[in-house]
Structure 1
Amino acid sequence: MSERMDSATEAFVTHRNLLFTVAYELLGSAADAEDVLQEAWLRWADVDLDTVRNQRAYLVQITTRQALSRLRTLGRRKESYVGPWLPEPLLTAPDVAEDVELADSVSMAMLLVLETLTPTERAVFVLREVFALEYDEIAEAVDKNQDAVRQIAHRARSHVAARRPRGLVTAAESRGAVEAFKHAVETGDLQNLLDLLAPDVVLLGDGGGVKQAVPRPVVGADKVGRLLSAGLPKLPGDVVVEPVQINGHPALIVRINGEIDDVVALRLDNGLITGLYVVRNPEKLSRVEQETPVTR
């Protein structure tokens, strides 16, 4: 019994970062992803390992089922959420950005695109496109037959392709945009800000009803530029804007008197900022003090 548990524990620990990443991409919440992993472990501990052909795929299937169940609960919570809901930002290691597909899949922009899919579409897309599971393995995870999974995958790919950022952005371009944005916001230079913003840029703020944030999306370069140029330079206290890696991409942490006030993530399209995601809800800022490992 002890030897079997040791083997089960070793397998789970080996794949834990992968399983967290799967759950996080399905949920957009690190706290909920951790809860899913606890539930997945309890089920994995009862499995007869001799019957498992592919431990990685089996663990991903268990995690996906638990995440889908949690996703329905999360959906109900979002319906009563105060103001726009944004994913929980993660401080990530620099090497995450080197895996372009992984970094794209965990980016704030992509997580918001995934929010527009149904739970099953989201699971099928993530398992196939990000983690390269076979269709039969995905079918087990989502309780569908393979033909249905293939159709769902095709539909989800088309949906995501129409909404994901247009054109590849290099890490250097992202860093340059973040540095330029940081300087423009710190100085309140409206013209420099407007030069960085796409005409149809959208700013979303998530305060969760706890911290003040824009109650609805702010759309358009002029409105967003004026809001930003009037904001940061006038904040009370000692304000420090720190460039960091959030969800595999350059972003900013704003500290006031040493305390994290918010995280600002950017979406870039063709060299311009098309999305600004400002997370102020304190309950969503616990994962930006130390790096969270994500992998695939």
Structure 2
Amino acid sequence: MNDGLQKNNQTGVTEFILLGLSGQSEQEEVLFGLFLWMYLVTLIGNFLIVLAISCDISKYPCTSSWPTSPVLTSSISYMECMTQIYFFIIFINMDVFLLSVMAYDDYTVICCPLHYTMIMKPKLCVLLVVASQVSTNLHALLHTLFMVQLTFCSNNAVYHFFCDPYPILKLSCLNTFINDLMVFTVGELVFMTQFTSIIISYDYIFSNILKLLSAHGIRKTLSTCGSHLTVVSHFYGAILGVYKHPSSSYSVQDVLTTVIFTVVTPLVNPFIYNLRNHDTKGALRKLISYSII
């Protein structure tokens, strides 16, 4: 009888209410305008780079974009929310792979400059893209399948601006221990593997810097790696700050922290990496010159 009463109290949720970052409509409108501007800049930056590279197909720089859309209080259906979680995990994982590839690219440029073109061949770039796509999709599919097995109660208010897995897990009527365990095991395996590759790449880079006697060479190396290291520290710091604890302890501070790796990192990635790439700069100059003519 108790089981039946418990089942009756567990109302099937067909939609979630996204409450955004603030409970006040005035603040939400300001935040919406700010984040919309950041997202448009991200899209335009990536579009210009893709357009420039299409005019010079021999160049293959990396870009990144996570389509976050901070909104005012709104509703999202259950299936749309699960779909958003799936793609959220894919794009976050793609950023992780991108940062590790960027570190390897820096290592190749600094430590093996004469062999750079032989190492970073188009075939290797394609292989890295395929490997990242397969692994990120499998990772996202795994977490999403575990998510859809949960039962959600009548409370469907999500204190977030999109369907982040952790605030959604807090609404479940069931024990989310398995879901949290998957985040800590599979999730950290993916993140820490890529993070370790970044550490190894920069270990070789800094070892190479110590051998340089030229102040100009040291400044050039630091200028090459400085922006990437800044993004890595912000991105991984935010990721670990949000997902290092169980979903039950997810707080408002965690919501604000997610802004860093969902909005800020995609905004700066195309600029700090592609616009310091001489090939990309040359392609952009060609595109601008062609447009003027």
What TM-score comes out, normalization by structure 1 length?
0.29
Is the helix fraction higher in 1 or 2?
A: 2
Larger Rg, first or second structure (1 or 2)? 2
RCO higher in 1 or 2 (8 Å CA, sep ≥ 6)? 2
